[in-house]
Amino acid sequence: MALSNRQRVQGAQDALLEELVVYVEKGLLKAFGTDWVGRVTARFSGVPVDGVGKPVWDMQLLVKVIADFWHDAFGDKLRPDDRNHIFELRSWRNALAHDQPFTYDDTHRALDTMHRVASAMKLPVAAYLLKERDETMRIKLREQERAVTRSVTVVEGRVPEGLKAWRDVIIPHQDVREGNFMAAEFAADLAQVHKGEASSEYGDPQDFFARTYITAGLRDLLTNALNRLGKGEGDPVVELQTNFGGGKTHSMLALYHLFGKVPSRELAGLEEVHSRAGLSTAPTGVNRAVLVGTDLGIGRRMQQDGTVTNTLWGEMAYQLAGAAGYALVAEADQQRTNPGAEMLTRLLTLASPCLILIDEWVAQLRELYGRSDLNAGSYESNISFAQSLTEAAKRVPRALVVASLPQSQSEVAGQGGSAALSALQETFKRVQSTWLPANPEESFEIVRRRLFEPLQGDAHRQADAVVRAFMTHYTTHATEFPQGASEPDFAGRLSKSYPIHPSLFDALFGTWSTLERFQRTRGVLRLMALVIHRLWQSGEKSLMILPGNLPLDDVRVQAELRNYLGEAWEAIMNQEVDGPNSLPVRVEAEDKSGRLGQVAAARRVARTVFLCTAPRAKTAHAGVETRSILLGSVQPGETAGPFSDALRLISSQAVYLYVDASQYWYSTQPSLNRRAADLALQLPPEDVTTEVERRLKALVKNKGAFAGIHVTDSPADVPDDAREPGVRLVILPPSQPHVKGAQDSAAAQRAHEIVTRKAGGDRLGRNNVVLLAADRSRLDDLLSRTRQYLAWQQIHTRAEQDNLTPSDKRQAAGRMEEHSKGTDLLLGAAYAFLLVPELITGTGQPTIALQETRLNGEGDLLERTARKLVGEGQLIGTYGGLPLKLKLDALLWNGRPHLPIRQLLEYFAQYLYLDRLENAQVLLSAIQDGLTTKQPYFAYADGQNGETYLNLRFGEPATVRVDDHSLLVNIEAAMRQRLAEQQQAISVGAAAAHQVTTGVTTTAKAGHVQGGTPPTPPVPAPVLPTRAHLEGTLDGTRMVKRFEDIYAEIIQQLIEAGAGVQVEVVIRAQAPHGLATHQQRAVLENARSLGLTAELE
């Protein structure tokens, strides 16, 4: 019986719980010894215990224990994001406990979280959880497929008598026939294979080689490995480098299994490899080390015997030779320093024969770039290790190092990745062996083996008959097909690619592989698995699978194509390429002769044009010629006439199909858009930047919170306001963009100049300047959209002169308005970096740096800018007496009894270590606030006569003036003067009484003796503080403990005093390499659960 989603999650949780208990108890035992039970029961009162005195575990208690004892028992083995996944386990436990429904997405998410936790802890249950997770996705896809109500249009060709359709000759693999494949299954994972978690297709050596085609490059790679590890000959270092999906990891898996437990003589397809190496089988006892950067990460790893490894060399040594191997590099591993070529030579000699496979190396190195505080060591030490490893491999005859390096930017990812790739390439080029990736014809066989069962019995003869029929057709009608289609070489290509036509392979491996995300062989496998599954299920019966046969109206096929092309193609595919309501279907239906509909000619040529041109839609050479379209559409037994007619008809009606002589191509833009695109390309760059600056200047009409807004890159254009606060926003033109994290970007360099310089000298009012710059990564989109706007504006302006039709005029006006709005939106998106000057102090001379803050949200750019500055505390519109007092005490009094008000205003305008105030009134209001508190923070005086302050005010409102005399007085100096004034008043009163009275008289009303010494005035009751404000930063390493101390020693005291206590939580985090999707999800969902608001940018 099939499991429900709830049953599947419950079973997975039970399985995980069993192994998680063992893991937690081991961690507690290691941290606290046998006292761990007492620690747990003391921390969590009421925890039930079993018959042997251990806690009765459930998922909730396990999560609590891991969280509370994280630093003591678990934090050194697990990463912070692992902790987030552990917390998420509690949510799924609660969902089960409260009978909440589980969708397929919920189930997949829960199982994925459990798998991540188990993998991080290296629990055996991880493989089971992975299988359950993937099975959930398979079930979901099958349900979606059954739910699709729209029928797929079956396009069949006429099968001549005596020939069989491809489906009657060759059978797809079971997972392809039934649609049980997952896209991820086409992505080989070396780490999963090494850990025993991969499917049998990759994890079982015999299954792996049964579906692996030994290309020339792979043959040479395996032969070299046998020579090196079996005879001490051959190249010691091999670098594998191709585009994403080009077979690097697959080649490493072949090496891994070649020297595995199954003798290589029992593996299919290796006869020539053994023959070339002169060995009957691979040597036994080869020690293998598998180092996958994305799997190892940058944290510590606990081995089965308790050994902790930190670095790549520590992990390699342990895998090759266990504790003995690790001992050789232990010191270097613990100190995160390169062990050097000599020590690595000793290690490889100890482990010889040994194979070292390093995959996704760049992915790990880019995480280390610019960091020196990580367990995996510094970037520099890891690059040095690479150099030492290659040198050591040369010295040890039976050692082989094979490393994969990416070639596509999608794998490199950023400055750190680019630097790592360059450094590794420089290291390997000195010693590497050349490795050849699969050529196109070899790729045909790779795909065929993965998707189809081998031809059996009479199937070979039947396939040959189909190939001969195609060649006869191409020879007989040679003028209708491309030159070369009738040549003998093409017959060989037909045979090698059967049942997939070479024109389809050419389109996928040629045109589609130019797309960054298509991933070459992997992309072909993903797409063709979907196509073949749909064709098999629909009963399609053509001789071979041609481009014209692809079911582009199938939901899953279409989704896969949109994944590479973009959502804009969905409407084009449905309207002009395929589907029940598409233009080709209408053309076939309107053909009264019926010739087109009998062979689905319009749909087949439309599909061929789309498949051959869609990825090239934005290139200069996007088209495919008529004869190539016929090659991808027509099969033996059919004439080219109906297909040529269909091509002519749909091209005359299509909106997105372009024609130039005999060249055809699809584009996402209508034909008038093509003219706009040409105009956009011809625009001078200065015209484009001028338009962007014009739009920026249009924003300055409303200054808002700023004293001024200036669109400029010249310091001379920005006034130097040094006498009082008044912040000016400088918007840098697009010629001065900023790069995230770069202090030397064009924007950063120009910003530093504007902050420090003015016309004719140094700028004094440096605290009155903030800058806004464009994001370099988004600038191209803005400039491109601006070009489109200017192009459409030109078309619209010249509409009458160029005799545009009314329809084209309306289109031009609409598109111009659309691109104008789009330009404004991209303007707001591109201008995303606030550069705020700040003073960096340390052991040396203070320096000015620029604090980078990214804008987010939508709406008016200036409003968002001001709001962000205020939110980050970089622009203050409301200032209180307390923060002013704190700044005065810490930075400004310096033993002085007073400061001129005018000078204080100048300080806040000039000095970057002071708060940046919106204007002078903000400071004056803060002074007034500080004067009227129960315990005044300072005093105000209209001036000074000698040592006496004139009209001294504190503890009461005062009108604060800005002139050459007004002073802000230190409260201690003000209290001294006030006390002196009180004492003087008492003395004067006593003297006056003595002059009036010559003797001692009594006054009944007063009730005391007049004359003589006056009575001592009553001592005023002390004024007790009623407010408390505390600030500080918690040390990240002991944050929980520090907060506990703060609560016990401070917050509890305030509560006991009857105070109403409000604690605000402010968390600011900078992630140099960004937050991954699962980390973003954990932060946002946990924050929502804990009642916090969160914002990521």
In this prediction, residue 875 carries a pLDDT of: 93
Query: Which among 410, 324, 328 is positioned nearest to 366, based on CA atoms?
Result: 410
- Max mean pLDDT among 185-199, 460-474, 652-666 falls in 460-474
Once rounded to an integer, what is the mean pLDDT over residues 328-356? 94
pLDDT tens per residue across span 174-211: 888 887 765 444 556 888 899 888 888 888 999 888 88
User: Does residue 149 carry a pLDDT above 50?
Assistant: no
Q: What tokens appear for 526 in the block?
A: 């993903």
Distances (CA, A) of 543 to 315, 469, 471, 601: 53, 10, 13, 16
Once rounded to an integer, what is the mean pLDDT over residues 926-936? 91
Phi/psi of residue 697, each to 5°?
A: -65, -25
Q: Could you give the CA distance from residue 494 to residue 501 in angstroms, rounded to a whole number?
A: 6
Query: Side by side, which strands form the sheet with 847-854?
Result: 708-711, 728-731, 769-773, 833-840, 847-854
In this prediction, residue 725 carries a pLDDT of: 94
Q: Could you give the CA distance from residue 671 to residue 651 in angstroms, rounded to a whole number?
A: 12
- Max mean pLDDT among 90-94, 240-244, 498-502, 1054-1058 falls in 498-502
Lowest mean pLDDT among 226-230, 718-722, 863-867, 1069-1073: 1069-1073
pLDDT tens per residue across span 970-990: 999 999 999 988 888 888 777
Once rounded to an integer, what is the mean pLDDT over residues 646-671? 80
pLDDT tens per residue across span 120-143: 888 988 888 988 888 887 777 666
Specify the amino acid at residue 718: V
Q: What tokens appear for 236 in the block?
A: 């010691």
| Mean residue pLDDT across the chain | 85
The structure's pTM equals 0.45
Q: Could you give the CA distance from residue 508 to residue 495 in angstroms, rounded to a whole number?
A: 18
Q: Could you give the CA distance from residue 125 to residue 593 in angstroms, rounded to a whole number?
A: 65
Lowest mean pLDDT among 200-209, 246-255, 778-787, 845-854: 246-255
Under 8 Å between Cβ of 313 and 339: yes
Under 8 Å between Cβ of 552 and 153: no
Once rounded to an integer, what is the mean pLDDT over residues 799-823? 80
Under 8 Å between Cβ of 256 and 290: yes
Domain ranges of the chain: 5-147, 183-440, 452-668, 680-871, 881-987, 1036-1089
**Strand duo 761-762 + 898-900: pairing:** unpaired
Under 8 Å between Cβ of 381 and 337: yes
Under 8 Å between Cβ of 633 and 156: no
* Residue 509 CB-half CA count within 13 A: 21
The residue written with tokens 């293998």 in the block is 288
- Max mean pLDDT among 170-179, 328-337, 657-666 falls in 328-337
pLDDT tens per residue across span 28-59: 998 888 888 888 888 888 888 887 778 888 88
Q: At CA 38, angle to CA 37 and CA 40, rounded to 5?
A: 65
Specify the amino acid at residue 1049: E
Assign 748 a pLDDT band (cuts: 50, 70, 90): very high
Under 8 Å between Cβ of 834 and 770: yes
Assign 580 a pLDDT band (cuts: 50, 70, 90): confident
Assign 834 a pLDDT band (cuts: 50, 70, 90): very high
The residue written with tokens 């009575």 in the block is 1015
Query: Which among 108, 121, 126 is positioned nearest to 66, based on CA atoms?
Result: 121
What is the DSSP code string of 756-788? HEETTEE-S-GGGEEEEE-BHHHHHHHHHHHHH
* Cis amide leading into 440 (omega within 30): no
Helix segments in 539-670, DSSP class H: 555-565, 568-572, 583-590, 595-598, 601-613, 626-631, 641-653
User: Does residue 109 carry a pLDDT above 60?
Assistant: yes
User: Does residue 364 carry a pLDDT above 50?
Assistant: yes
Distances (CA, A) of 219 to 258, 290, 332, 398, 528: 12, 21, 37, 19, 26
Long-range contacts of 583-588 (CB under 8 A, 24+ apart): 583/650, 583/653, 583/654, 584/646, 584/650, 585/153, 587/646, 587/649, 587/650, 587/653, 588/646
pLDDT tens per residue across span 268-277: 889 999 999 9
In this prediction, residue 699 carries a pLDDT of: 80
Helix segments in 942-1028, DSSP class H: 971-996
Q: Could you give the CA distance from residue 665 to residue 645 in angstroms, rounded to a whole number?
A: 17
| Number of C-beta neighbours around residue 32 at 10 A | 16
Once rounded to an integer, what is the mean pLDDT over residues 931-939? 91
Helix (H, G, I), strand (E, B) or coil at 899: strand
Classify residue 545 by its DSSP letter: B
In this prediction, residue 974 carries a pLDDT of: 92
Helix (H, G, I), strand (E, B) or coil at 372: coil
Query: Which among 393, 211, 387, 188 is positioned nearest to 289, based on CA atoms?
Result: 393
Query: Which among 612, 650, 648, 615 is positioned nearest to 628, based on CA atoms?
Result: 612
Long-range contacts of 960-966 (CB under 8 A, 24+ apart): 960/901, 960/924, 960/927, 960/928, 961/901, 962/724, 962/901, 962/902, 962/905, 962/920, 962/924, 963/901, 963/902, 964/900, 964/902, 966/900, 966/901, 966/902, 966/940, 966/941, 966/942
Bridge partners for 455 per DSSP: none
Q: Could you give the CA distance from residue 617 to residue 385 in angstroms, rounded to a whole number?
A: 45
Phi/psi of residue 47, each to 5°?
A: -70, 125
In this prediction, residue 184 carries a pLDDT of: 42
Q: Which residues contact 1057 (CB under 8 A, 6 or more apart)?
A: none
Under 8 Å between Cβ of 653 and 602: no
In this prediction, residue 1000 carries a pLDDT of: 44
In this prediction, residue 856 carries a pLDDT of: 82
| Number of C-beta neighbours around residue 845 at 10 A | 7
In this prediction, residue 514 carries a pLDDT of: 78
In this prediction, residue 674 carries a pLDDT of: 60
In this prediction, residue 416 carries a pLDDT of: 76
Assign 842 a pLDDT band (cuts: 50, 70, 90): confident
Q: At CA 456, angle to CA 455 and CA 461, rounded to 5?
A: 75
Helix (H, G, I), strand (E, B) or coil at 454: coil
Bridge partners for 970 per DSSP: 938
Query: Which among 578, 500, 543, 646 is positioned nearest to 152, based on CA atoms?
Result: 578
Assign 255 a pLDDT band (cuts: 50, 70, 90): very high
User: Does residue 546 carry a pLDDT above 90?
Assistant: yes
Q: Would you put residue 58 in left (φ > 0), alpha (ψ -120 to 50) or beta? A: beta
Q: Would you put residue 252 in left (φ > 0), alpha (ψ -120 to 50) or beta? A: alpha
Q: Could you give the CA distance from residue 488 to residue 670 in angstroms, rounded to a whole number?
A: 41
Query: Which among 316, 313, 257, 249 is positioned nearest to 282, based on CA atoms?
Result: 257
User: Does residue 732 carry a pLDDT above 60?
Assistant: yes
Assign 716 a pLDDT band (cuts: 50, 70, 90): very high
In this prediction, residue 1037 carries a pLDDT of: 54
User: Does residue 1009 carry a pLDDT above 60?
Assistant: no
Q: What tokens appear for 560 in the block?
A: 């896969």
